[in-house]
Structure 1
Amino acid sequence: MSKNSPRSTVTTKGKGKAAQSRARQVAAQRLAAQRRKQRIITFSIVAVVVVAVLAVVGVVGVTVWNQTHKPAPPLAAPKGGTTSGIYVGPPTAKVTVELYIDFMCPICNQFEQTTGPTLDKMVQQGQIRIYYHPVAYLDRSSQGTMYSTRASGAAACAADAGVFDKFRSILYQNQPQENTPGLTNQQLIQFGQQAGVKDTATFEKCVNDGKYSTWTANLTDAASKGGVSGTPTVKVNGTLVGAKDTVPNTQTVTDAINKALGTKK
């Protein structure tokens, strides 16, 4: 019995050490698991915070964008007109004559003096409706004053006042030469009064503020993109009259109109 005691003592001690080792391993595993769990929780919290911050930044970004990039207001069109021009004559007319003009263009003035009276008569008779497109191709010829734009815009102001046709005629009668500053705003305002503007204060503000400068730029751009390369350009019911880059005479224009009307003269 005594001989076996030492062996028995050695075995018990070995088992004790093994148990302690396993306990330490279990404790280490539990600690590692707790640390992993804590890292996952911490990562989740950080991720939530990051997402929340990004969401706030996104909202702020959208808000700033909306505040600094507001949609452009609708393009204002003058009374009796559209974003591309001004109508003169009855809407019921069978034929629409489009005239692309520039108030500094001398050939436009010649066309006005030669063919204008015939067109005016046809308007009065209800045969045609004229669609004026006062472009600003010759801004470059007014020594930096952008006379074509200002004259076109003033004509739109005159349309608001109901005197576009008379104002247009007066501008041609007082047409400045190319490569000069053109008429001043004050002169344009005076001619508006001469044309019959009643509310002079509103007309004056319209001219001085350049209310229709964007309108002029828009219709000029549309004309250019539409293939109109010079003034005057004449179209009858959408069809170009005469050869491109040439000015049709009165007979050519009236022939095109009569054809569209279905008459032979």
Structure 2
Amino acid sequence: MSMRAGQVMAPVHIPTGATETADGIAVGRGPVVVDAYIDFQCPFCKQFELTAGPTLDQLVENGLITLVYHPMAFLDAASTNRYSSRAASASGCASDHGAFAEYAYALFVNQPPEGGPGLTDDELIGLGATIGLTDPGFAACVHGHTYVEWAGYVTARAAERGVNATPTVFVQGVSVPANAKMIVAAVAAVTG
């Protein structure tokens, strides 16, 4: 990742399904953009995904929103093996195989505690297998840490936007509390 004139430059390797700015993975194609800044090691992000996730999935399925996940490496220091970066990288590998949302959910359900080691690369690959990611290319991508630099880029772009905590949610560029009720209300306000 390189910097030029205070602006973060995109990394060489960007996952399939990334946004035009390459700092998130777009799920769905609805008219209202909901940005969710997450860290796979963040307990509050796990709570957000488990409580608001089904509502967000329904909004995507109904064609109302494009949900853009921004997997950050915000909490790398909260593990002994840069788990946030490696999990974000693995989520990019899953996105290459069309399974970002399913894999992100699996990462949250199987979230390791802060302060210790995160899941190993083999465990990240094993999680993929539980959702059908058995292609050897997925395993090679995870082991190769293909998108670790991308995770740093996502984190730097989030900082440029003023994101300093996870989860952080924006609806059409406006910050809203990270809960289903407030997100639905904000989407409804935009769509009329």
Same fold (TM over 0.5): yes
Which structure 2 residues correspond to residues 142-157 of structure 1 after superposition, within 5 A? Answer: 142-143=79-80, 145-157=81-93
Match of 1:171 in 2: 107
CA distance 1:76–1:251, shift in 2 (3 Å): same
Would the aligned equivalents of 2:89 and 2:147 in 1 still touch at CA under 8 Å? Answer: yes
The structure richer in strand per residue is: 2
Q: 1:238 aligns with which of 173, 176, 181?
A: 173
**2:28 maps to 1:89:** yes
Which structure 2 residues correspond to residues 183-202 of structure 1 after superposition, within 5 A? Answer: 183-199=119-135, 201-202=136-137
Q: CA deviation at 1:123?
A: 0.6
Match of 2:188 in 1: 258
Q: CA deviation at 1:74?
A: 5.8
Q: CA deviation at 1:98?
A: 0.2
* Gaps in structure 1 of 5+ consecutive residues: 1-71, 243-247
Moved over 3 A (4+): none
Match of 2:161 in 1: 226
Partner Cα distance (1:205, 1:230) in 2: 31
Q: CA deviation at 1:73?
A: 9.5
Partner Cα distance (2:77, 2:156) in 1: 15
Question: TM-score normalised to the size of structure 2?
Answer: 0.91
Q: 1:125 aligns with which of 59, 62, 71?
A: 62
**2:138 maps to 1:208:** no
Which structure 2 residues correspond to residues 14-163 of structure 1 after superposition, within 5 A? Answer: 75-82=12-19, 83-90=22-29, 93-143=30-80, 145-163=81-99
* Gaps in structure 2 of 5+ consecutive residues: 1-8
Name the % identity: 43
Letter in 2 for 1:187: E
**Partner SS state of residue 157, structure 1:** helix
Letter in 2 for 1:249: N
Larger radius of gyration: 1
Q: CA deviation at 1:250?
A: 2.2
Q: How many residues are treated as equivalent by the alignment?
A: 182
Match of 1:182 in 2: 118
**Partner SS state of residue 50, structure 2:** helix
Q: CA deviation at 1:241?
A: 0.9
Relative contact order, higher structure (CA 8 A, sep 6+): 2
Question: TM-score normalised to the size of structure 1?
Answer: 0.66
CA distance 1:125–1:214, shift in 2 (3 Å): same
Q: CA deviation at 1:116?
A: 1.1
The structure richer in helix per residue is: 1
Would the aligned equivalents of 2:56 and 2:180 in 1 still touch at CA under 8 Å? Answer: no
Partner Cα distance (2:56, 2:14) in 1: 24
Partner Cα distance (2:145, 2:11) in 1: 16
- CA RMSD for the aligned pairs? 1.5
Partner Cα distance (2:64, 2:89) in 1: 28
**Partner SS state of residue 75, structure 2:** helix
